[in-house]
Structure 1
Amino acid sequence: MSEPVLKKRSLHEVIEEIKTVYLDDNRPWIIGFSGGKDSTCMVQLVWTALSMLPADKLQKKIYVISSNTLVEAPQIAERIIRNLEKMEKYAKKANLPLETNLLRPPISDTFWVRLLGLGYPAPTNWFRWCTDMLKISNADRFIQETVSKHGEAIVLLGMRKNESKARSQVMELYKIENSKLSRHSKFDLTYVYTPIEDFSAEDVWNYLLENKNPWGEENRDLLAMYQDANASECPLVIDTSTASCGGGRFGCWTCTVVDNQSYLSNLIDNDEKNEWMEVLAELREELKNTQPEFRYFCKKCENEFIYDKEKNIMHVLVI
């Protein structure tokens, strides 16, 4: 297990780094907030750092963005909306140049329109159409619009190297030598900054529980939500290298990419007030079983999806 970064670097050093990166240029920041522990830790650190700067130095615009897939875990959806509203309110009081944006897919790309209206199969590991349409495309559009307006932009993400070996390798791949920034995996004129990349999960929780949330949320409530669900955070997704958020992660309650939606089951089992979500778990199982032995047969053609369901060939035209 890696040594917690806060044992090697002081909190003061981390905050000073954030201040330095902010003051280095005039490129706006786009901060990805997913409502979980890592993104909450990152935003709180950024907020604290910027609050220490004099007003005349706070010239660079900051956009906090969250993706609402419209099929999020109910607790996460509620938490995201509540946090964004509070951030907007408290940022104005603190005179921080911060605005929040809740991103949603266009109606034509929503989960139920694609699944029921256009006949898409329930998502699988090898055909995760939901990830791009419900999450990646929303963030991509916002990033491109921001770059078009400002010329360049820096995206801040709450990613940590010790989450997985694959995550660490991807982060190292795009690193810019002698810089705190990385290249964006898809867009020119767009860079990535990961302030907590060397944090451990222990560091994240220690920071959140030892430091008051500056926009009025209670971090212990976040801890309680994790304990109830026994889950990890679903990050703001910017490319398909990010794993599905089903299983042990908070994510979409409809997720059929994983065999077991454990966080949803844990929420229901650990708190009576969540019993109403049993109907969601049942519906998710129905979706999972829509194409049992035929799921592998689904293939994408240029203008149509063809799949065998109950031994009948269905041709569904994609408009």
Structure 2
Amino acid sequence: MDLFTAQVVRKEASLDELMAGSIASIKQLFDHGHPVLVAFSSGKDSSALMMLTFMAGIQAKQEGRNPRIAVCHSNTGVENPLIAELARCEMRKIEAYAARQGLDVQVHVAQPELLDSWGPRICGGRALPSYPGLNADCSVAWKCEPSRKLRLAIFEELGDEKEVVVCTGTRRSESARRGARMLKRGDSSVTPVRNKDGELVLSPIADWDTDAVFELLGLCGAGIIESYTDAQEVLTAYRDAGPTSCAVVNDSIMEGDKKGKNCGARFGCALCTVVQNDSSMDNLLSSDPDYAFMRGLGRLRNYLMAIQHDMGRRLWVGRTIRKSHIAIRPDVFSPEEMRRIYRYAVTLDVEEAEAAQAQGIEPRFRLIPPDAAVCVDLLWSRDGHFDGFAAIADYLDIWHGGRRFPVPEAVEVLSADRPQPHFLEVGEDWAEACGDHWAGIREPFVAAMLEDCLPVKAYGKKDAVSSWGDLVSEDGFFIDPESLAMFFYFEAEDIVERYRSRQTDTRGIAYRWYLQYGLVKLSARQVLNHDKALRRTAYKRLRGISGPFVDVTQLLEASAAWDQVSEPVQEAFLSDSRLSQLRESKEDERVKQLQSSLF
């Protein structure tokens, strides 16, 4: 049964007709009692959508209804500072206008989990930047997944009577590819459709062209149409940066997609490496000296692009055991490179803080906030890259000690064929490989000294891990804000000096300290994963391949080449596509042999 009355919007319509059709599409949601969730980026399309939603809401209220509107914005933490500030200002305007109109409007901001944020992800060694031609899984961790979780929370809060409908600013005319994808998905400007996650989604401006969007913004700017904003800052941003926008969230909502796709955006993250050239940043820096504060971000982004093919800056020790082996091949950045990038980022933060203080304004960006610094330090210690609170030492040296690490002009390394992997036999699992019962997450000193008064809990069912009972937070990975403040005020400086000489020990000193102090909490699943990681680090230390100074040449000599291991080992480390190619090749060879034997 159709819930909504179909309405036809002509493709070549005047702005008045387009507006009337879009407002009617949104208003019918309110007429049927559906709350509306607006996916808002502060770009031109979502701004136009927000204006139309307000118009529909005001009409519904005048007719005696109580329209409920939620606004969902996604902040990756490394947005272009101009756009991040624009979004904050526009959301404040939304709240103020809603209050003046007496409308029930809630504004929500989705942010990535701390472990997934830029600092821990890139500097902590969890992943590489998303480079051109690769899956842009950063879009999942930083935008799509946080937005999806926030939408679910909003659905639960607002969808008590009627289902929440998500409205996006996706338009067919943005590109031929976008139009084809919208057609395939069945996107509609009139009737909500269900995405793969089962969410109802409406695209009210699907049939608008770019000129119509800018015309609406211009009329609001001229005061001819009243709305929550005059759109001047939005128009200025597009004038200075170029007509580009980030469409990751809109597509991910429509497709219910949890897989990473190249977002194609040039007007989003300041450190975006998905595109070869960041034209919006280049345009901003050349258009107005007021944007000069972002030059450091541009240099760091270009540095990351320049080193993408430099295998000498990679970690070569694999992290996953398959068929009793680990792969010896380029993976994430090497410990030395992680620390370089971390130092560059913290230096940019300090320089921005100093510049902002001189101007009497708030800092316009922060790449490594205090909780991210602790998270990076925790990961370095857990994974055997550095220890002895090395990341905190750098953090304090740069923020308070006057040290600076300016981003260099890196020479681009050209793309080359990736070397075939070698393999190192380690055993069935890391517990067997390291051969040390106490190498995992359970601290032997704590177990010996506090056995009778500290509760011990078993985590997991199969191969359960025993440790003290207060490691886990119901909210998952968590850094307690009060403990964080106390750490930096009272502990950090002293503990850095105490352990400065042990930054290459790789014994998990800092990691264990953070957990015992109560500064860091884990999820129950992370207890198991971190236990394995600590045992892996113990094995690496035993083999002399932990820390920042691993000799890759010696590592390759000590491992078996591709043709020296069995086929099951080879196949275990191939991607699904490569494995299919290998099996097809073998099948073709078998068929050829059978055919030749007939003659």
Give the alignment's TM-score, normalised by structure 1. Answer: 0.85
CA distance in 1 between partners of 2:29 and 2:61 (Å):
15
1:173 alignment partner, one of 171, 184, 189: 184
Which residue pairs with 1:308 in the alignment?
Answer: 330
- Counterpart secondary structure, 1:101: strand
Q: For residue 66 of structure 2, what is the amino acid of its counterpart?
A: Q
Q: Does 1:231 align with 2:243?
A: yes
1:113 pairs with 2:120: yes
The SS at the match of 2:37 is strand
The structure with more helix, counted as a fraction of residues: 2
How many residues get paired? 312
Matches of 1:88 and 1:178 in 2, distance apart?
A: 26
Per-residue CA shift, 1:38-70, capped at 9, x if unaligned? Answer: 000011011112112235644342110100101
Kindly indicate whether the alpha-carbon contact (under 8 Å) linking 2:11 and 2:207 is maintained by their aligned counterparts in 1: no
What corresponds to 1:87 in structure 2?
94
State the Cα distance separating 1:18 from its structure 2 match. 2.4
Structure (1/2) with the larger strand percentage: 1
For residue 269 of structure 2, the aligned residue among 252, 257, 264 is 252
Change in 2 beyond 3 A, CA 1:192/1:301: farther
Question: Could you tell which deviates more after superposition, 142-151 or 266-275?
Answer: 142-151
Summarize deviations over 1:251-301 as a string: whole Å, max 9, x none: 001011111011001100010111121111101111112332549999x98
Q: How does 1:32-51 map to 2 (within 5 A)?
A: 32-51=39-58
The whole-number CA distance in structure 2 between the counterparts of 1:75 and 1:217 is: 17
Residue from 26, 29, 37 that aligns with 1:30:
37
Aligned partner (choices 200, 207, 216) of residue 191 of structure 1: 200
Q: Is the 8 A contact 2:188 2:206 kept in 1?
A: no
How far the C-alpha of 1:80 sits from its partner, in A, is 0.7
Q: For residue 22 of structure 1, give the secondary structure of its aligned residue in structure 2.
A: helix
> Percent identity, aligned pairs only?
25
Q: Which runs of 5+ in 1 are unaligned?
A: none
SS at match of 1:9: helix
Counterpart in 2 of 1:268? 285
CA distance, structure 2, for counterparts of residue 131 and residue 258 of structure 1: 13
3-state DSSP class of the match of 1:69?
A: coil
Contact 2:37 2:69 in 1 (8 A): yes
Maintained 8 Å contact 2:189/2:203: no
User: Tell me, what secondary structure is at the counterpart of 2:60?
Assistant: coil
Deviates more, 1:90-99 or 1:48-57: 48-57
Deviating above 4 A after TM superposition, structure 1's stretches of 4 or more consecutive aligned residues are 176-179, 212-216, 240-243, 293-298, 300-307, 309-314, 316-319
> How far apart, CA to CA, are the structure 1 residues paired with 2:328 and 2:122?
14
Higher alpha-carbon Rg: 2
Structure 1: how far apart are the matches of 2:15 and 2:332? 58
1:8 deviates by 9.1
Q: For residue 39 of structure 1, give the secondary structure of its aligned residue in structure 2.
A: helix
Shift in alpha-carbon separation, 1:91–1:290, aligned structure 2, 3 A: same
Pairwise mapping of residues 46-195 of structure 1 onto structure 2 (< 5 A)? Answer: 46-55=53-62, 57-124=64-131, 125-149=133-157, 150=159, 152-175=163-186, 180-184=191-195, 186-188=196-198, 190-195=199-204
The structure-2 alpha-carbon separation of the partners of 1:309 and 1:102, relative to structure 1 and needing over 3 Å to count, comes to closer
Contact 1:67–1:236 (CA<8 Å) still a contact in 2?
A: no
Aligned to 2:14: 6
Structure with the greater relative contact order (CA < 8 A, sep ≥ 6): 1 or 2?
1
In 1, the alpha carbon distance for the partners of 2:75 and 2:121 equals 16
| Counterpart position of 2:499 | none
SS in 2 for 1:88: helix
2:189 touches 2:202 (CA, 8 Å); kept in 1? Answer: no
Q: Is the 8 A contact 2:76 2:117 kept in 1?
A: yes
Tell me, in whole angstroms, the C-alpha distance in 1 between the residues paired with 2:23 and 2:124. 48
Distance in 1, matches of 2:334 and 2:294, equals: 33
Kindly tell me: are residues 43 and 312 of structure 1, through their superposed partners in 2, closer, same or farther at Cα, counting changes over 3 Å?
Answer: closer
TM-score normalised by the chain length of structure 2:
0.47
Could you tell me whether the CA contact under 8 Å between 1:307 and 1:313 is conserved in 2?
no
